[in-house]
Amino acid sequence: MLTESEVAQYHEAGYVVPEFRLSPDQVTRLREALDRVIAANPGRRPEQLVSVHISGREPGEPNPEGVVGDPEFMAACQDKAILDIVEQLIGPDIVLWGCQAFCKPPGDGMEVPWHQDGNYWPIRPLATCTLWIAIDDSLVENGCLRVIPGSHRSQSLTPHFKEVRTDLVLNQRVVDGEFDEAAAVDVELEAGQMSFHDVFLIHGSNANRSPRRRAGLAIRYMPATSLFDRSSSSDGISAGYAVYFSNRPIWLLRGEDKTGHNDFVVGH
C-alpha cells in the first residue's frame, strides 16, 4: 500500500514513484512476455504495442487492434497488490481500459513528445491513473519517462498540435510556451519499480540513443464514475498509430459501474 505522503504526492505533483516494486520473478515473467510479443508482432514498432493484455481468439492470433497480446500482461493488470494501490488513488470502482508496451530498442528507440494522455481518449469526464512499470532499467541515458510536476493541477487539457514524424511514438505535442520544460523531472526507475501518473500530467520521453533497451508497460485504470464513451471514439490513427476504442474490451475489476452505462460486453 502507499503511504499517506505517497498518496499526497500523487495528488500534488500528479505522479508518484512508490516504495512498492515487483518481485524479480514478476519482472522476469513480464520481460519474457514482452520478448514473445515483440517476436509475434514483427510489423509493429515495439513502442506502439497497444492492447498487449488482449489476446486474439486463438493462440497466436492478433486482437481486434492487430496486436498479438499475451496473458501475462493481463495478469499484471489484475494483480491484487497493484489494484490495492490504484484504489488508494482513484477509489474503489476500477475499470481497466488500456495497456500498452512502450519498448525503445537500443540505438533508435523513438521519442514520445510532451503530451497529456487525455487529449485523444474517449473518457467522460476525463479521468485515468496510468501505472508505468519498468520492465528494464529506465534511465536518462535510455530515454526514461519525464514529467512536469504539478502540470495536472488545473485538470484541463492544454492545446496540442499534430506533428507527423516517423521517429515519434505519438503525433501529438503540447504547444510551445504552454509549460516550462526546465521544470521537467526524469523518472528514473530500476526494473520492477513503477510510477503512477494522472491523466492531465504533461509527460514525454527522449529517444533512446544508448546501447541499452528501455521497456515499460503502461496500464490505464479509470474510476467507474467515468464513461468509456464509444460513441465519441477517435478510432483510427488519431494518435499516430492505429487504436480502436469503439470495440476494445474493458473490464470492471473492482466495485460497481457508477455511470450505469459502461459497456463491458463489447469486444469480449
Ligand X SMILES: O=C(O)CCC(=O)C(=O)O
Least distance (Å) from ligand X to the CB of residue 102? Answer: 3
94 binds ligand X (CB under 6 A): no
216 binds ligand X, rule: CB under 6 A: yes
Judged by CB under 6 A, does residue 145 bind ligand X?
yes
Binder among 10, 15, 73, 132 for ligand X (CB under 6 A): 132
Q: How far is the CB of 170 from ligand X (least distance, A)?
A: 7
d(CA 197, CA 199): 7
Question: What gap in Å lies between CA 109 and CA 211, rounded to an integer?
Answer: 10
Q: Indicate whether 73 belongs to the interface with ligand X (CB under 6 A).
A: no
Residue (216 or 267) nearer to ligand X, CB: 216
| Binding positions for ligand X, 180-209, rule CB under 6 A | 203, 205
Residue 85 makes contact with ligand X by CB under 6 A: no
Min. distance of Cβ 195 from ligand X in angstroms?
9
Smaller CB distance to ligand X: residue 73 or 102? 102
Least separation in angstroms between CB 210 and ligand X = 14
Q: Which residue has the cell 497480446?
A: 69
Helix H, strand E, coil C: the string for the chain is CCCHHHHHHHHHHCEECCCCCCCHHHHHHHHHHHHHHHHHCCCCCHHHEECCCCCCCCCCCCCCCCCCCCHHHHHHHCCHHHHHHHHHHHCCCEEEEEEEEEEECCCCECEEEEECHHHHCCEECCCCEEEEEECCCECHHHCCEEECCCCCCCCCCCCEEECCCCCECCCEEECCCCCCHHHCEEECECCCCEEEEECCCCEEECCECCCCCEEEEEEEEEECCCEECHHHCCCECCCCCCECCCCCCCEEEECCCCCCCCCCCCCC
Give me the least distance between CB of 111 and ligand X, in Å please.
Answer: 9
Binding-site string for ligand X from residue 146 to residue 185, where x marks contact by CB under 6 A and - marks none: ----------------------------------------
Does 6 participate in binding ligand X (rule CB under 6 A)? Answer: no
Is residue 117 at the binding interface for ligand X, with CB under 6 A as the rule?
yes
User: Residue count at the site for ligand X (CB under 6 A)?
Assistant: 10
Asked if 218 is part of the footprint of ligand X (rule: CB under 6 A), the reply reads yes
Q: Which residues bind ligand X (CB under 6 A)?
A: 102, 112, 117, 130, 132, 145, 203, 205, 216, 218
